[in-house]
Structure 1
Amino acid sequence: MRFLLTRPLHDSRILAHLLEARDHEAVIEPMMEVRCRPFEPPTDPTSYQAVIFTSANGVRAFRHHFPDSILPVYAVGPATATAAREAGFSDITSGSRDVEKLAQLIANDPELDNSRPVLHVAGTHVAGELKKLLQKVGIELERWVLYEAEKVNQLSGTTLEMLDQGKIDAIPFFSPRTARIFLELVRAAGREETLNQIKALCLSAAILDVIQSVNWQAIRVAPEPNQNSLFREINIELEEI
């Protein structure tokens, strides 16, 4: 199968490698460009009990600004935990790619107390209600916005040609925002009708809400919010990252 990958470049390259190792093809067309933002920390990171990463982009942005800082880490899922490990963190607790479950995991950690806040590293667009969820159990969260993910303005000529020629078999979507940007660009290019030849793979029901108005060849939604579960819907086994 040939997949169109719409995640940011670094994440798409990792997924492309996994797919190509299983004799599939991948075309990388990021919907967003991720950039670190200038940042002056209001305090030293060590004043926090722990740092929360809800994406691998957050890990990379934190390391860009604070190359030597080591804190206990809470990661939203295995991919983010792997990024944290590769960035030199060792005390890592991983959730299951769900912000609500991550909040519950943090709230139930006996090593945390309400004496100091926890730090959440995020981008300019934040999904979920992590701060409110932790406030309910008496844990103060402070957020540092260290990166931005700006949407691209148009689809590449290569992707438009492949859509026209029916050479894309499936598109996995990992966030509602990515799916929304993709549909905006497809419609702006007058190519919405080409999607009826393509399978849409949704990591969550929230993504399904964004894309279900389009006439796809088929839509699959992952039973669990992880990459393995998503690709099993089309009988492809991928190792978890």
Structure 2
Amino acid sequence: MRLTANEYCNYFKISKEVLNSKIKANKLDYIIEDDQIYILVTKNFLDEKNDNNYEKEKVVLKQINQIIRPKTTVATVLALYQKENNFLKSKVAQLEAKIDKLIDDKEQMLRAERDKIEQIYSLKDAQLKNILELVERKMTLEREQTTIHEIESFNHQDETKSSLNLKTVELKEYLKSLNLKSFQKKIIKKRFLNAYNNDIRVIHKDGKLYLDFSKYDYSDLLAY
């Protein structure tokens, strides 16, 4: 039986360099045909090689099995179960720690939200209190102004009534006797100038306007 160089190398698991060295050393029988080298082997040689390889493989497999699959005993099984149990306990403890941390974080978040809401409501209460105080202050000022205006109106009516006891008085002098502002005096004077040609109550004499309280009521013209 003959084998090519590649077949021989593959079958016997050697490299081409080793094969060439054996051929040069005349350790193998070979022939050359058409520039191709063929190594001559016998069937017995192949069988022997196969038997040797088979025995070697059996020994190696036995050793591997002894390493990989040691003898299983009750103690070994218990040790494995104990190891697995310890591992599971460790995992459970880790999960419980994570759950406790999540609960604590949630409680802290809820407390922070509660404090924030209370702070907002407290701020709103303070703002509402300030607004109510401002409204109350404004109402008080308005009441005071209304009272002052009523007092001034009452005083003005008293002054008008007292002036009714007079006979004829010049408008300018009469306005001076009143506690009026400049623009108020101008408004009243303009009102009299617009009315004196059509209103018999307004007396014009020597370029001046006079009022006769003994005859007429000037409250409408003197209003301000």
Query: TM tier, shorter chain?
Result: under 0.3
**TM-score relative to the length of structure 1:** 0.17
- Structure with larger RCO (C-alpha < 8 A, sep 6+): 1
**TM-score relative to the length of structure 2:** 0.18
Which one has a larger percent strand, Structure 1 or Structure 2? 1
Which one has a larger percent helix, Structure 1 or Structure 2? 2
Which has the larger Rg?
Answer: 2
